[in-house]
Amino acid sequence: MSTSSPDLSSLRAAFAGRLLTDPADTAPFLTDWRKRWTGRARAVAQPDTTEDVASVVRWCAQHRVPVVPQGGNTGMVGGSVPDDSGRALVLSLARMKRIRAVDPINNTLTADAGCILTEVQQAAQQADRLFPLSLAAEGSCTIGGNLATNAGGVGVLRFGNARDLCLGVEVVTADGQVWNGLRGLRKDNTGYDLRDLFIGSEGTLGVITAATLKLYPQPAARMTALAAVASPHAALRLLELAQRRLAATLTGFEMMSRLCGELVARHVPSAAVPLAAANPYCVLLESSDPHSEANAAQTFERLLEEAFEAGIITDAAVAASIAQSRAFWALRENIPLAQATEGDNIKHDISVPISAIGDFVERTNAMLEQTFPGIRMVVFGHLGDGNLHYNVNAPEGAGGARFMADEPAINAIVYDAVAQAGGSISAEHGLGQLKVAENQHYKSAIELSLMARLKATFDPLGIMNPGKVMPVT
Ligand code: FAD
Ligand code: MLT
Ligand code: ZN
For position 230, which CATH number holds?
3.30.70.2190
Q: How far apart are CA 388 and CA 398, in angstroms?
A: 25
Domain final position from 190, 217, 244:
217
- For residue 166, give the CATH number of its domain: 3.30.465.10
Helix H or strand E segment including 89:
strand 89-92
Domain count for the chain, please give it. 4
pLDDT at res. 1: 53
Per residue in 207-247, pLDDT (tens digit) is 999 999 999 999 999 999 999 999 999 999 999 999 999 99
Given a cut of 80, whether residue 399 has pLDDT beyond it is no
Given a cut of 60, whether residue 2 has pLDDT beyond it is no
Q: Which ligand is nearest to the CA of 393?
A: 2
| CB neighbour list of residue 412: distance below 8 Å, 6 or more residues apart | none
pLDDT-based confidence at residue 166 (cuts at 50, 70, 90): very high
- For residue 388, give the CATH number of its domain: 3.30.70.2740
Judge if 237 and 276 occupy the same domain: yes
Q: Which ligand is nearest to the CA of 169?
A: 1
Given a cut of 90, whether residue 5 has pLDDT beyond it is no
Judge if 260 and 284 occupy the same domain: yes
Per residue in 305-341, pLDDT (tens digit) is 999 999 999 999 999 889 999 999 999 999 999 999 9
Judge if 236 and 329 occupy the same domain: yes
Q: How far apart are CA 86 and CA 44, in angstroms?
A: 11
Domain that holds residue 134: 99-217
Q: How far apart are CA 345 and CA 325, in angstroms?
A: 29
Judge if 359 and 374 occupy the same domain: yes
Residue 69 C-alpha to ligand 3 middle, in angstroms?
22
- Strand pairing report for 387-393 and 349-351: antiparallel
| Average pLDDT of span 182-195 | 97
| Average pLDDT of span 165-173 | 98
Q: How far apart are CA 153 and CA 289, in angstroms?
A: 20
- For residue 33, give the CATH number of its domain: 3.30.43.10
- Strand pairing report for 89-92 and 67-70: parallel
pLDDT at res. 17: 81
Q: Does residue 176 lie in a domain region?
A: yes
Beta bridge partners of 206: 173
Judge if 231 and 331 occupy the same domain: yes
Q: Does residue 473 lie in a domain region?
A: no
Residue 410 C-alpha to ligand 2 middle, in angstroms?
19
pLDDT at res. 433: 98
Q: Is 156 exposed, middle or buried (0-12, 13-18, 19+ CB in 10 A)?
A: buried
pLDDT at res. 6: 85
What are the two backbone dihedrals, phi and then psi, of residue 89, each rounded to the nearest 5 degrees?
-115, 125
Whether 211 and 143 have beta carbons less than 8 Å apart is answered as yes
Q: Does residue 165 lie in a domain region?
A: yes
Judge if 207 and 225 occupy the same domain: no
| Average pLDDT of span 395-399 | 82
Domain final position from 72, 92, 112:
92
Residue from 76, 133, 379 to probe ligand 2 pocket by mutation (most atoms less than 8 Å from CB)? 76
Per residue in 33-82, pLDDT (tens digit) is 999 999 999 999 999 999 999 999 999 999 999 999 999 999 999 999 99
Q: Among residues of the chain, what percentage have pLDDT more than 70?
A: 99
Judge if 362 and 286 occupy the same domain: no
Given a cut of 70, whether residue 413 has pLDDT beyond it is yes
Given a cut of 60, whether residue 408 has pLDDT beyond it is yes
pLDDT at res. 4: 64
Judge if 192 and 228 occupy the same domain: no
Q: What is the mean pLDDT of the chain?
A: 96
Minimum-distance ligand 2 atom for the alpha carbon of 382: 2
Dmax (CA) for the chain in angstroms is 72
Judge if 252 and 306 occupy the same domain: yes
Helix H or strand E segment including 167:
strand 166-173
Domain final position from 336, 354, 389:
336
Q: How far apart are CA 169 and CA 111, in angstroms?
A: 10
Q: Does residue 290 lie in a domain region?
A: yes
Q: Does residue 348 lie in a domain region?
A: yes
Half-sphere exposure of 237 (CA within 13 A, CB side): 17
Helix H or strand E segment including 393:
strand 387-393
Q: Does residue 468 lie in a domain region?
A: no
Minimum-distance ligand 1 atom for the alpha carbon of 33: 36
| Average pLDDT of span 189-197 | 97
Judge if 142 and 156 occupy the same domain: yes
pLDDT-based confidence at residue 268 (cuts at 50, 70, 90): very high
Given a cut of 80, whether residue 157 has pLDDT beyond it is yes
Per residue in 13-28, pLDDT (tens digit) is 888 889 999 999 999 9
Beta bridge partners of 171: 179, 208
Half-sphere exposure of 372 (CA within 13 A, CB side): 25
Minimum-distance ligand 2 atom for the alpha carbon of 136: 3
Q: Does residue 454 lie in a domain region?
A: no
**Helices 335-342, 322-333: crossing angle, 10 deg rounding:** 40
**Helices 258-267, 335-342: crossing angle, 10 deg rounding:** 70
Beta bridge partners of 351: 387, 424
Judge if 207 and 243 occupy the same domain: no
Judge if 324 and 289 occupy the same domain: yes
pLDDT-based confidence at residue 473 (cuts at 50, 70, 90): confident
Given a cut of 90, whether residue 276 has pLDDT beyond it is yes
- Collapsing DSSP to helix, strand or coil, 369 comes out as helix
Q: Which residues line ligand 1 (CB under 6 A)?
A: 33, 68-76, 79-80, 93, 113, 135-137, 141-142, 144-146, 148-149, 151-153, 202-203, 207-208, 336, 428-429, 432, 465, 468
Task: Fill in the amino acid letter for 385.
Answer: D
Q: For the CA atoms of 9, 14, 17, 23, what is the dihedral angle to 10 degrees? A: -40
Q: Does residue 308 lie in a domain region?
A: yes
* Global model pTM greater than 0.85: yes
Per residue in 418-452, pLDDT (tens digit) is 999 999 999 999 999 999 999 999 999 999 999 99
Task: Fill in the amino acid letter for 355.
Answer: S
